[in-house]
Amino acid sequence: PGGQTTPSITTSPTNTTTYTVTGTSSGCSNVNSVTIYVTNTPVANATYSPMPVCPGQTVTFDGTSSINPGTYTWYFPAGSPSVSSANGPFASLTFNTSGTHPYSLIVSNACGSDTLNSTFTIDVCTGVNKMSEKEFVNAFFTNSNLILNTANLNSGNYQLKLFNGLGQLIYDENLYLNDNNQSIIVETNNLSKGLYFVHLQNKDSQFIIKIIK
């Protein structure tokens, strides 16, 4: 608060603030100031790469998008090791089994801590196929839907997955596709704008398409 004339004041600044005091006596004055540095509580956030991730592959987690971090602690219940020895914003380790696995990042500073609990997916990787001249796989967004077009694929059961740019699984569906021209429509009204990856795979092949909404 400004304009106080008492010998002492009490303040609760929400951000870094400089306070100035002027002392006067017998017609003389002197000015001094003090800066109170405020550290806000942290917010944890993280991404990982590469994508897709295959069993036994090294995965690097990146916590540099956290806000006001001081220290970082990583937990990977399904990883090797399960608790990372890394003290900084990066952690690298391997996962040997496919599926969706949890991980946690705790960031702390002098004012508190915050925990991110999230998941990521290890794919059953059969190699990303180079499409033959006859095979056709194409995906794009409309205003409200994801459209996947296929043609001349080997008939059989396929798994369609959609990941966001952070590697989080957004959509997962089992499909039967044949060698005819087919269009699959997935409602995506609630998806925010950004980068996405479409994965279409079966036991013999995998196709990955990068698209932007």
Q: How does pLDDT run across 184-209, given as a tens digit for each residue?
A: 999 998 888 888 889 888 877 788 88
Residues 57-74: what's their mean pLDDT? 90
What is the DSSP secondary structure assignment for residue 55, as one 8-state letter?
T
Rounded Cα distance, 94 and 54, in Å = 9
Please give the single-letter amino acid code of residue 103. Answer: Y
Instruction: Give the pLDDT band (50/70/90) at residue 114.
Output: very high
Question: Structural domains in the chain?
Answer: 47-122 (2.60.40.10), 136-212 (2.60.40.2550)
Rounded Cα distance, 181 and 153, in Å = 9
Which of 66 and 123 is assigned the larger pLDDT?
66
Mean pLDDT of the chain: 84
Q: Is the confidence at residue 63, as pLDDT, over 80?
A: yes
Instruction: Give the pLDDT band (50/70/90) at residue 43.
Output: very high
Other beta carbons within 10 angstroms of residue 101's beta carbon come to: 18
Per-residue pLDDT, 79 = 73
Q: Which residues contact 22 (CB under 8 A, 6 or more apart)?
A: 29, 30, 31
Q: Is the confidence at residue 39, as pLDDT, over 80?
A: no
Q: Is the confidence at residue 127, as pLDDT, over 70?
A: no
Per-residue pLDDT, 186 = 93
Which of 51 and 160 is assigned the larger pLDDT?
160
78 in helix, strand or coil? coil
Q: Is the confidence at residue 130, as pLDDT, over 60?
A: no
17 in helix, strand or coil? strand
> 136 near 151, Cβ under 8 Å?
yes
Per-residue pLDDT, 189 = 86
